Chain A
C-alpha cells in the first residue's frame, strides 16, 4: 500500500510534466491514474519489501548530486567519442570485458549499468545471471585494468551512495 502511494506521487509529478502545466488539478489526476498504471507492472517490483519514507526522502539530495555528476560525465563522453570519430585514422582497440560490481539491489544495478553506458568509451551489454558481473564493451581497450578500475572507483561510489 505504501508503495502504491509513493509511486502514485511520482507518477503524479510525471503527469504534470508531460501535460506541460504544473498545478494541483493535474497532479491529482495523475495521482489517481497512477494505481492503474502500476498494477500491470507490479511483478517487476519487489512489493513485499518494506519501504520507509524517511529513507527514501533522505536519499534525494544524493540522487540529485549523482544526476549532476552524470550530466558532466555525459558531456565528457560525447567529446571523447566525437574526437575518436573525427580522427582521420580510426585506430581502435575495442573489446568486451567482465567488470565485477558491488551493487546488490536492482535499482543500484540499473543505475550503474545506465551510468556506464553514458560515460566515456564504455557500453553495458549484459548483466550476469547472479547479478555480480557486468559485461562492458569499451571502444578503446588498450588498458583493460584501468577501464574496470575507473568504473569501480569513480562511478560506483556515487551509485552506492545514491541507490543502496
Chain B
C-alpha cells in the first residue's frame, strides 16, 4: 500500500464526514420538512459517497472495496426515491410548507 493512497483516502474520509456533518446541521437549521429533505438527500449522498471512496482507496479492489462501490451506487439510486416518497406522503397528510414559501402548485392537484 502506497502512503499517497493512504493520504488521499484520509482526505476523502474527511470530506465525506464534513458533508455528513453539514447535512445534520441542515436538518437542524432549515425550516420545514421539504427543505430538510434537501439537506439529507443531497448532502447525505455525497457524504456517504466520500466515505465509500475512502474505503476503496484504502483497501483497493478487494471484496470489501467492491462492496463499498456497490453501496455507493445503491445510495445514489435509492436516496431520491426515498425523498420522493417522504415528501409526497408528508404533503398528502397535510404537513404544510413553511411561512416563507412563495408558491404551492402541488396542493390544488389532489384535493
Residues of A that sit less than 8 Å from B by CB: 14, 17-22, 70, 74-75, 77-78, 81-82, 84-86, 90, 92-98, 113-114, 117-118, 121, 123-126, 128, 135, 137, 139, 141, 144
Contacts and interface: CB of A to CB of B under 8 A. Distances in A.
B43 A123 contact: no
Interface string B15-59: 000010010011001111011011101110110010000000000
A82 B19 contact: yes
Interface of B: 19, 22, 25-26, 29-32, 34-35, 37-39, 41-43, 45-46, 49, 62-64, 66-67, 69-70, 76-77, 79-81, 83-84, 87-88, 91, 97-98, 100-107, 109
Given A96-B104, A135-B105, A74 B83 contact: no
B97 A81 contact: no
Given A81-B39, A90-B30, A135 B46 contact: no
B80 A114 contact: yes
Given A98-B106, A125-B88, A93 B100 contact: yes
Contacts of B22: 82, 85-86
